[in-house]
């Protein structure tokens, strides 16, 4: 193929115009074109793989950061709740301990064959809120405890409260009674705890028929004169 190009100097033979050949690019064979196509496809595939890898890396990093942030937030949330619960439990323990230390006698309820039996008893408490009672082995309450160790203990500070508005601190404790072996190391230790709170009960310890029971609490229900109330399980 040729194109027409104007000459700077006119010519009589060909006039003011002349023909000049136009160079085309080299033509590729079919095999070469196929090879170049395959190279192009492979290049595109490699580029696509790199792009996908970058996207995946970005997504994975973003997801990891999001999960890590969520995990840290969860840990912080549970940590705050645990601290709050620990603070609440400490305040509740103080209330129960203060009431037990203030009161001298409690109502001990045991389960008989047909009827429950309620008796007013002097008692003592341990730091774990275990309650100590003494009784004669021939009494109905002691026989009830041997058969049905599940008991209920109720005590209140009505002397310092307002009965007409029921502003009275009180607690109901339910637990399991266990007999302390007489003249054992535990007996001597719990006897000292009991007499420290109730020294007027000392004369009863000279009787060989005296028994000491330890009530291990399982749950309690507390209500304060200031209307603060809560329940707890051990």
CA distance 35 to 32: 5
pLDDT band at 41 (very low <50, low <70, confident <90, very high): low
Phi, psi of 85 (to 5 degrees): -65, -40
Average pLDDT over residues 139-151: 97
Average pLDDT over residues 22-30: 55
DSSP-assigned beta bridge partners for residue 149: none
Check pLDDT > 80 for residue 149.
yes
Q: What is the DSSP letter of 24?
A: P
Comparing CA positions, the residue from 152, 135, 111, 140 lying closest to residue 213 is: 135
pTM: 0.63
pLDDT band at 162 (very low <50, low <70, confident <90, very high): confident
The CATH number of domain 103-233 is 3.40.190.10: no
Check pLDDT > 60 for residue 85.
no
Average pLDDT over residues 23-44: 60
Check residues 185 and 75 and name the one with the higher pLDDT: 185
- Tell me what pLDDT residue 17 has: 46
Comparing CA positions, the residue from 106, 215, 88, 86 lying closest to residue 171 is: 106
> Would you say 132 and 124 are in contact if contact means Cβ atoms under 8 Å apart?
yes
Residue reference for tokens 């997801």 = 63
Which helix (H) or strand (E) segment holds residue 171: the answer is strand 170-180
Cα–Cα distances (Å) from 211 to 121, 133, 141, 179, 182, in that order, read 13, 8, 11, 7, 7
Q: What is the DSSP letter of 27?
A: P
- Tell me what pLDDT residue 179 has: 98
- Residue 114 sits at the vertex; the CA angle it makes with 112 and 115, to the nearest 5 degrees, is 65
What the block records as the tokens of 160 is: 């310092």
% of the chain with per-residue pLDDT over 90: 57
CA distance 228 to 161: 14
CA distance 4 to 233: 107
- Summarised one tens digit per residue, pLDDT across range 171-195 is 999 999 999 999 999 999 999 999 9
What the block records as the tokens of 25 is: 């690019």
Check pLDDT > 90 for residue 112.
yes
- Tell me what pLDDT residue 212 has: 98
CA distance 169 to 162: 10
């Amino acid at each position: 193929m040729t194109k027409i190009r104007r000459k700077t100097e006119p010519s009589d033979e060909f006039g003011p115009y002349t023909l000049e050949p136009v160079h085309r690019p080299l033509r590729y064979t079919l095999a070469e074109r196929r090879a170049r196509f395959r190279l192009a496809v492979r290049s595109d595939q490699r580029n696509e793989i790199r792009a996908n890898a970058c996207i995946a890396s970005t997504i994975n990093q973003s997801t990891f950061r999001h999960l890590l942030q969520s995990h840290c937030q969860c840990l912080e949330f549970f940590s705050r709740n645990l601290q709050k619960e620990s603070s609440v439990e400490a305040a509740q323990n103080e209330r129960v301990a203060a009431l037990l230390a203030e009161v001298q006698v409690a109502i001990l309820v045991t389960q008989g064959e047909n009827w429950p039996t309620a008796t007013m008893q002097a008692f003592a408490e341990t730091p774990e809120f275990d309650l100590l009672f003494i009784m004669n082995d021939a009494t109905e309450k002691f026989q009830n405890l041997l058969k049905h160790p599940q008991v209920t203990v109720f005590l209140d500070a009505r002397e310092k409260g307002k009965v007409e508005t029921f502003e009275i601190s009180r607690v109901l404790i339910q637990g399991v009674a266990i007999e302390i072996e007489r003249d054992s190391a535990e007996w001597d230790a719990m006897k000292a705890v009991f007499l420290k709170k109730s020294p007027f009960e000392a004369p009863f310890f000279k009787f060989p028929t005296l028994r000491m029971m330890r009530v291990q609490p399982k749950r309690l229900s507390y209500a304060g004169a200031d209307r603060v109330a809560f329940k707890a399980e051990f």
